[in-house]
Structure formats: C-alpha cells, structure tokens
C-alpha cells in the first residue's frame, strides 16, 4: 500500500524549479513493487541501459524483476561500484552479489562492473568511465548509505570526478560488516562511479528503508546541497524518484 506520494519542490542552483517525487510505502516489500513498476515503465519507454546497485535495499525490486516476465536480454547493465581486492567469484564481491540476486535469473545482454582485482586501478577507472560514456544510463537505481553516500561516494567526495578509488569511511565499514564473518574482512577500499556520472542518468530511482536512514534521507531532500552529504546532489537532478518506508521518511517535515 502506498501511504503517500508527494512532489517535493526545490530550486536548483541555476534557479530551475525542480520536483523530486517521493513515494512513501509501508515496508520494503511494497517499496520493491514500486521500484519494479519504475523499471517496467522505463523498459516500456525504450530504456536500454540500466545502472544497478548492490546492498540490501534494491533486493526487493530485483526479486520482483526476477518474478516478472520483463526481459533484459537486449539491455545493458552498469553497476555503481566494487570492492578493491575481491575477485568476481568471492561471495562478498558485488559482482557475485549481482549474479546471485539478479543476473543468474535475469541475464542482460552485457553487464559491466568495475574490476576490483585490476592491477592498475587508475586505468580500470578510465576504462569504466568510457563504458559509462559509451552507454548513457537511462535508469539508475541507488541505495543510500547511513552517512548519505551513494555508490561509494563518501562524504567530502568532489562532485566532478569520474570513477575513482575510494577509502571507505568507518561508518560504511561498520554498516557493511554485517555481510562479513568479521569486520577485519571488510575491504577498506572500493572503486566507485563518480557523482557526475550518476547525475548524467536520465532517471534516478533512490530507495531507502529503515530508521537508520532517516537522517540521511532528511539531509538528501531537505538539507543544504553539500558534498558533506553526497546524496544531496540529487536536488540538482530533474528526474528523481525516491521510495521510502515510513521509518526512513519519519524525519521529513517540509512537505
Ligand atoms: C554500500 C553500497 C551502496 C549502498 C549502501 C547501502 O555502501 N556501495 O551502493 O547503497 O551500501 O546499503 P544497504 O542497501 O545494504 O543499506
């Protein structure tokens, strides 16, 4: 059940009037259904390149995609990020995650992820930027870090850089430790698509669930647009849909 849908109106730095569509649902299963509808609609309207994310948040949307008859065998996927040092067959790598949660059941014509084992990380970052440039993203799905990161663009990340090497913050390492046997196993570095590339996507869908995301959600939508909260850059994008459960939406005041 959708609890509430509203358009959050904002003025971009260039004084354009922008609207962020906010959909509040009861829980992430319902959020997944709403997310699925956006994928379905994008596909119907000819979307061909899908920017994909890992983390627990998009799983319900991926489950609904898997259960549907949507066919991505003519489509391209480009993932946001990958840990440095993990091979594709390591069950904690994002490459493995994507196969487990989507690709094994819904294969794409071609799926791109950064190579976390690349010997030359700078060259790998350049290769990935070229992939994104050659395949403009029609729909990008995002989760949200507790500190407001998107992809692995941590607070303070400059907004104009492309794919880059990231030192993960302690907050992100702590949050992601739940997926590993112990915290020491969590990689400390990653390769992430840059904010500028994310912002070039034609449509951005961000999902966030749970009370631990409420501060980041508030900052993203109602706070100042600042590199300290990377997701606040979305205030400058003309086509953003945000799906929240009630807990994640609980600190929004400015409807
Ligand atoms: C990681 C990923 C992000 C994801 C975030 C939130 O840091 N790099 O893309 O959005 O975690 O994860 P979760 O959805 O599990 O809360």
What's the pLDDT score for residue 120? 97
> Has residue 138 been placed in a domain?
yes
Give residue 211's pLDDT band: very low, low, confident or very high (50, 70, 90): very high
What's the pLDDT score for residue 9? 81
- The pLDDT tens digits for 122-161 are 999 999 999 999 999 999 999 999 999 999 999 999 999 9
> Has residue 150 been placed in a domain?
yes
Q: Which of 167-181, 185-199, 226-240 has the lowest mean pLDDT?
A: 167-181
Percent pLDDT > 70 in the chain is 100
For ligand 1, atom 3, name the residue with the nearest CA.
Answer: 151
Cβ atoms of 78 and 112 closer than 8 Å: yes
Against a cut of 0.85, is the pTM above it? Answer: yes
188-216 average pLDDT score: 97
Count of alpha carbons within 13 angstroms of residue 77, beta-carbon side: 23
> Has residue 254 been placed in a domain?
no
> Has residue 252 been placed in a domain?
no
Strands 189-192 and 81-83: antiparallel
89-118 average pLDDT score: 96
What's the pLDDT score for residue 181? 86
Domain that includes residue 195, residue range: 4-245
Give residue 61's pLDDT band: very low, low, confident or very high (50, 70, 90): very high
105-127 average pLDDT score: 97
Distance of CA 140 from the midpoint of ligand 1 (Å): 14
- The pLDDT tens digits for 19-47 are 899 999 999 999 999 999 999 999 999 99
What's the pLDDT score for residue 178? 87
65-88 residues labelled b (16+ CB within 10 A) or e (exposed):
beeeeeebeebbbbbbbbbbebee
Distance of CA 238 from the midpoint of ligand 1 (Å): 23
Report the catalytic residues. 81, 147, 149, 154
Give residue 15's pLDDT band: very low, low, confident or very high (50, 70, 90): confident
For ligand 1, atom 6, name the residue with the nearest CA.
Answer: 145
Contacts of 5 (CB under 8 A, 6+ apart): 21, 22, 23, 24
What residue ranges line ligand 1, CB within 6 angstroms?
A: 53-57, 80-81, 143-145, 151-152, 172, 176
Cβ atoms of 220 and 114 closer than 8 Å: no
At 150, which CATH number? 3.40.50.1360
Distance of CA 75 from the midpoint of ligand 1 (Å): 24
> Alpha helices, DSSP H only, in the chain?
28-44, 59-67, 94-98, 121-134, 170-176, 195-199, 214-222, 246-249
> Has residue 250 been placed in a domain?
no
For ligand 1, atom 12, name the residue with the nearest CA.
Answer: 55
Ligand 1 atom closest to 192 (CA): 8
> Has residue 251 been placed in a domain?
no
> Has residue 255 been placed in a domain?
no
> Has residue 67 been placed in a domain?
yes
Best probe residue, ligand 1, of 57, 179, 190 (max atoms within 8 Å of C-beta): 57
User: What total number of domains does the chain contain?
Assistant: 1
Please, what is the average pLDDT of the chain? 94
């Amino acid at each position: 059940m959708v609890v509430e849908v509203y358009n959050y109106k904002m003025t971009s730095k260039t004084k354009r009037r922008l609207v962020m569509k906010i959909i509040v649902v009861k829980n992430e299963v319902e959020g997944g259904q709403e997310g699925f509808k956006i994928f379905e609609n994008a596909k119907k309207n000819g979307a061909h390149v899908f920017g994909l994310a890992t983390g627990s948040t998009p799983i319900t949307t991926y489950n609904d995609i898997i259960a549907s008859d949507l066919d991505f065998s003519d489509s391209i996927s480009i993932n946001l990020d990958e840990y440095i040092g993990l091979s594709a067959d390591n069950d904690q790598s994002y490459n493995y995650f994507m196969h487990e949660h989507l690709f094994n059941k819904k294969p794409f014509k071609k799926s791109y992820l950064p190579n976390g084992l690349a010997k030359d990380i700078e060259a790998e970052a350049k290769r990935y930027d070229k992939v994104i440039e050659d395949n403009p993203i029609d729909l990008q799905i995002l989760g949200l870090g507790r500190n407001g990161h998107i992809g692995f663009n941590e607070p303070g990340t400059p907004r104009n850089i492309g794919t880059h090497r990231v030192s993960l913050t302690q907050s992100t390492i702590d949050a992601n430790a739940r997926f590993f046997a112990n915290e020491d196993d969590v990689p400390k570095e990653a390769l992430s698509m840059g904010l500028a590339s994310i912002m070039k996507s034609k449509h951005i869908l961000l999902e966030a669930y749970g009370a631990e995301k409420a501060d980041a959600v508030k900052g993203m939508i109602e706070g100042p647009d600042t590199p300290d909260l990377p997701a606040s850059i979305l205030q400058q994008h003309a086509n953003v849909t945000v799906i929240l459960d009630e807990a994640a939406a609980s600190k929004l005041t400015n409807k």
